[in-house]
Structures are given as C-alpha cells and as structure tokens.
Structure 1
Amino acid sequence: MTVLTSAHARLILVVALIAFAPVAGLAGLAMSAQAATDDPKGVGITVSVVGPSSRATVAPSVTSPVKSVTVPAVTQTTITDSAAAASALGENPTTIAGIFYVSGLTTHIESEAGPGGGTVELDFTMRNITDAPITSSLRFWLDNAVGLPVAIVDKVSIDSLAPNETRTVSATIPDVGQWAWFTGHVTMTPPADIGGTALSPVTRDSFTLIPPYFALIVLAVAGILSLILRHVLLQPRTAPEPVEEVAS
C-alpha cells in the first residue's frame, strides 16, 4: 500500500478536500429541492372554527418562481374570545372604510441547521364590522434577501366572514433557503363595492431574520480546511540526508 508522505501528496489531498466541501453542500441543496418537488399531496386549506359554524375546504394556487418548496399549509381560525380577538388584531388595527378591521402581518420562524433553512409562518387577522357576511381573498408571498419571491400562496378564499367575526389566516412555508433576511407580504382583496362604498386591496408587510446555519457550517469547514492547507504549505521541508557509499 502506498502512503502519502511527501509534501506534494499532502497538498493534493488537502486541495481535494477543500474542493469537495462546496460540492457536498450543493448536493445537499439539490436533494432538498428534489424532495420538495416530489411532494404528492397537493395543496389544501384546513379551516378550524371555534364556534357552531363550519366551512368547506378550498385549494389556493401556489407558485414558486425561485425554488421548489414543500406545499404550504393554510389554516383559517375564527376567534370567539373577545380578548384573544383583540390581541390577534393588535393594539392599533387598521380600519378599511368602516367595513373591516385588519391586523399587521405577523411572522413566526422555525430555523433548522439543514440546507432547507427553516419554516416561516405568516399570520393575518381580519374582522367584519358590518351587519352582513363578506367574502374576500388573500395572497401571501415571501421574498428573499435580494427581493426575489421564495414562494407565493395565491387565491386564498375568505368565505362568508360573518358580522363581528374575527378570523386569523396562517400560511406556513417550509424550506425557505439560506437567505438570512426575508420579507413577508399579504394582500387582502375585498369586494370592489359594499353598500355603495368602493374598496381597494390592502397590503401588509413583515421582516424577519433566519440564521443561515447550513451556509455558516459550510464556511466554517472551508475555513478549517484552508488553515490546514496553509499549515501544510508552511511546513518546513528537510533535505534528504546523503547516502554514504560503502567501499567495496
């Protein structure tokens, strides 16, 4: 068996390790994206109502122009407790033409060390302050650090929001990537006209930071390998001792 003892052989080995580290990271990202693309379950909305009423399941349209992600889950929850409803709307909810109260967009994160980056949940709450039920729609999307969309959850139908009903809608987007800085958005599109009052869509935004653990790990490994390479290059080389010829 050949043993790598020369300085040149050690240098080749270290360079090979440094070259392999980024390749391994990219392979992990590719496998994560492929696993997300292969999700066979489709898109669904689960409607959880605290109260006597129930609503049908609706399927929103989901697109992801930057990367394939696992299909987001969208839930709608009616809040019947007045204190909990006020808390969900926030201290200063926005009034839309005396018809809706709407909250800001709240972001919850669950980070992970893998190449997927973690999960982002976007929450938005609204209240109908008229005396008739209203149907509207929501569009959620998440941008990365350079302003490109990570995922879009479109055509989320808010069916028959009853008078004085407070409902929170949550969109969960996993595998958001290693971008560190994210911006979430939601646009509520109400009916164009209610009781002679013209209404326009309203958009809320939220910023969040997810530590890019996987990218930091790759950089740390690359840094360690660079230090090893530097040590190998700076290691003093000893000249071979001359071999004395034995007189015959």
Structure 2
Amino acid sequence: MPARRHRLRSGMSRTAQHELDLIMQHDASTPGKPGVDLLDIDRLAGELVPVRRLRVREGLAIALAMMAICGLAIGFGLGVRGDVANGVPHWMFIARSATLLGLGTAAAAAALSSASPSIGGARRTFWTWTLAIASVFPLGAIGVWIGDFRSLDDARRFLDPQYGMQCLRMSALCAAFIGTAMTVWMKRGAPVSPNRSGWLVGLASGSLGAAAYSISCSENVVMYIGTWYTLAIAGCAIAGRLIVPRVLRW
C-alpha cells in the first residue's frame, strides 16, 4: 500500500494528494469498493435540472419578430415608401428586400444552429450562397462608378455622407436590437466557435436591420444601395465579431 500510494502521489498537486490520502484512509478503515462510499450519486443526480432543448426555429422566430417590430417602428416614425403604401412596389425594392431578408435569415439560422453543436450534423452553409447573390449590389455600384462616367455627378450625390447616414443609423439601431435578442438566446446553448458565431450574428442582424429600414428608404439606385447598405451590413458584421464572442464565452 505505501508503494502504491507513493506512485499515485507523484506529480499531483497538494490538493489532489490530500484528497487521495482521505480516500486511502477511508478505504483502509471501511469495507466496500475503494472510493465508492465517498461519492453520493443520489445527491449528484438530485441536483440535476432539466434543460429545455434549443430549437433553431424558435430563435429564428425571435430574430424575425424583432425585425418586424423595427420595421413597424420605422414605418410609423419615418413613413413608408410611396409605392409600397400604394400597393405597387418598385421591382428594385422587391429585389433589395428579398436579398436582405434571405441573407439575414440564412445567416441567422447558421448562427443559431451553432448554439446546439452536434456530431455528424449538417452544417448550415446556405448563407454563403446568399451572400454571393447579395454581392451583386456592391459589385454593381463599383461597376457604375468605374464604367459609367456620365453618372459621376449622381454618384457623388449618392456617396455624400449626409445623404446616407440615415441608412447607417437606422440599420445599425435595428441590428442592435436584433443582434442582442439573438445573442441572449444563444447564451442558453453552448456555441463552440464564438468567433464564427460573432461574424454570423453581425451579418444576420445587419441584413435584417437593413431590411427593416428598407420599407422607408425611397432609393432605387444601385449606387446608393450598393454603397450604404453594404457599409451598414459590413459594420454590423465587424461589431458582431468584436462584441458577441465576449458575451458567448463559457
């Protein structure tokens, strides 16, 4: 027994050595299997608390509900586009809103699913295809800027910070509410990649926040959409990467 105890004690911390000595003393003085009587299995099992399973669709419903609330608030506060109010929305508004909503929903689903990691489960990467589709707007803005020299005066007007700051402010404000709701929901789970989750939360909340503001934005020009909406979403993605991982740390 002393030789066995010496081998077990080698390399241990003082706390571990003390616990080992207690178990050895208990084993030497009482019958039964070594160390078993020191573990109160019933007490440990009684302390377990059932946890409700996280479902991605619930978190996604919360994010979309927050977007809808922001959209209603913007509609009442800033007004609704005339074509939408008249029931004949412009095709650019439809394309813009559908792209933002699709990108935001896909990124949100990917972010929320990361809170429930599993082995062998399908990884949600559909958002990458949606992001590729959404890149048509910034690429189109660059193409107009480079190729169509006749529109330089309009380009300068659309790139005027005073002209697009409302887009940035309102999209970021809506994204803050949406991103906060998503992060609070994800903290109930166990995200194994906080950095990736931060990017996705920022991308999702920025896209959904821009979609909420889109109901009031009257611009149908690719130059404006590709510039200010892209800046708003990119800024939210960076903010998500910087803030969300700190909150999701275990």
Normalised by the size of structure 2, how large is the TM-score?
0.31
Structure with greater proportional helix content: 2
Structure with greater proportional strand content: 1
Normalised by the size of structure 1, how large is the TM-score?
0.31
For CA contacts below 8 A with separation 6 or more, give which structure has more relative contact order: 2
